[in-house]
Amino acid sequence: MLRSIPQRRTSFICKSCLSAGWRLESRRACSTSVPQRPQKPPRRTEVPDGPARTRFAPSPTGYLHLGSLRTALFNYLIAKSTGGQFLLRIEDTDQKRTIPDAEQRLFDDLRWAGLEWHEGPEVGGPYGPYKQSQRTSLYRQHADQLLESGHAYRCFCTPQRLAELAEHRAKLGLPTDYDRTCANVPKEQSDDRASQGEKHVVRLRVPDRYPPFFDLVYGSVGKGLKPATNPKDDAYDDPILLKSDGLPTYHLANVVDDYHMKITHVIRGTEWLPSTPKHLAMYQAFGWQPPNFAHVGLLVDINGNKLSKRNMDIDVSAYRKYLPEAVNNFVALLGWSHRNRSDVMTMEELIKNFTLKFTTGSVVVTEAKLSYLQNHHQQKHLIPGDPYFEKVVDELVASIQGNDGIKIDERLLSNGGLRARVADVLRIDNKNFTKTEGFIEEHDYFFSDAAVDYSSTDVPREKLDAVKTAWERTFFQIQPDDWTRVSLQQSIDKAAKMIVESRTRDTWQHLRQALSGGKHGPGVLDTLLVLGREVCLRRLRKYLS
């Protein structure tokens, strides 16, 4: 197989140097060499040295979904990992689309996920109120400030005129941006029309070209941005800051709030990347230092379609069947690259390992990874006394009682009844528990002798006779009060030595076949202890018959 030989990289040599006959080995880049393209600054992946102040600012126009939970979690993790503060702010200025119970659901879902906010609704803080509907005077004050400085202007165009303008420009194949008809209205005339009550909005007067900016995920951004204005086509990307009802748009409110709440880092989805230049133009107009921005990839399904918070299939409440730490672990891995040796991490480990090393591009969401993480996290909780363990036991008992296909033999139950038996089975085989459905069916031999089927057993008679002799001298000699882990282990070891033609593993296989019909499940020793002496000896005899 031929190996490709890497070519030697040399500096650019101009034609005059080539004509001089320089030897290749001695050629150097001359003064007319093509300058090398400047390198982009590296992405900053490490968390800041000082405390970060971050925020999660949901709108109560919908319920919490995986994308917004991830945004909240990333902002929470950077705050916690730096000893900073995580704020919750409700952006409720879109009153028409507000869902009555959405705000309380947001609080409940965040607390269920363990994302407690240091400042915000129901908590308070020095920079409140933390609901935008209660901060309208502040937004109007700052809109007036931009009007006075000339960085904003009032637009008196009617919705009908704007719709006709957009339609006309679209037919001509031109951008449907605003044409700045009202930008040149004299200030005195604008003030007078506004004081007379004429309906208007306030627009930002964007610069001719947006300046490039640095994003913590994408690095330098801005070279490919379209011009903010295009006078040739009368196209101006002037966003509305104040609506005709006096309420702010997202653009104005989030910039003003982030500044006054001293936010240092903003982590949000890439759908907001195109809006960032407008926000930076506002920071520049106010003379404020902007926060650090990090835009993370959008969540998509396996078909590449964007996940939507209006899709109830991904409403966070639908994931409450999982442990919150499993959901947090799952969400954290959606677009975040870590150096930990395992993907399975508790909240404390997420905080400890958190960096700003996010992947670029869309992130595919599949529940297979969530199920994997759930299985690992729940092992820590499937122990008697843990609330999660007791909750699962109750669910399993309910599934038995509501399933006519499972026949319970009361003789197999201990003094604690059905719930005690279910708890014992879950305790000794928690490693195989993934979900309530199907768990009892797989362990039906703990509840009924009839569930043990020997019809497929095919063991030579002479081998069974050797097993019978060994068991009669071991298990059948154990007295009721001595049916313990120690004595049972001793009997297993002794029986294995007595069956000269078998190895120890064969002894275990015979026991599993006799006790469960060969079904997989917990260890044989645990099975012997949970079933008890009477049930086990009865099944051993039946197996040998």
Which residues are catalytically annotated? Answer: 309
Cβ burial of 130 (10 Å; 0-12, 13-18, 19+) is: buried
Which residue in the block uniquely carries the two structure tokens 């129901």?
122
- Residue pair 319/298 in contact by the 8 Å Cβ criterion: no
Pairing outcome for strands 201-204 and 299-300: unpaired
Cα separation of 204 and 195, whole Å? Answer: 20
Longest dimension (CA), the chain: 111
- Residue pair 204/251 in contact by the 8 Å Cβ criterion: yes
- Residue pair 382/390 in contact by the 8 Å Cβ criterion: no
SS3 261: coil
Cα separation of 194 and 348, whole Å? Answer: 54
Cα separation of 205 and 195, whole Å? Answer: 21
Instruction: Give the CB-side neighbour count of residue 369, counting CA atoms within 13 A.
Output: 14
Cα separation of 254 and 210, whole Å? Answer: 19
Cα separation of 111 and 317, whole Å? Answer: 12
Asked whether the bond before 129 is cis by omega within 30 degrees of 0, the reply is yes
Q: Give the C-alpha distances (Å, rounded to integers) separating 22 from 7, 32, 35, 127.
A: 19, 15, 21, 70
Give the DSSP H or E segment for 213: strand 213-215
Instruction: Give the CB-side neighbour count of residue 390, counting CA atoms within 13 A.
Output: 4
DSSP string, 329-375: HHHHTSSB----S-S---HHHHHHH--S-BPPS-EE--HHHHHHHHH
116 sits in the region (left: phi over 0; alpha: psi -120 to 50; else beta) called beta
Pairing outcome for strands 53-56 and 85-88: parallel
Cα separation of 164 and 380, whole Å? Answer: 63
Q: What are phi and psi of 69, to 5 degrees?
A: -65, -40
From the CB of residue 489, how many other CB atoms can be counted at a distance below 10 Å? 12
Tokens coding 285:
């107009």
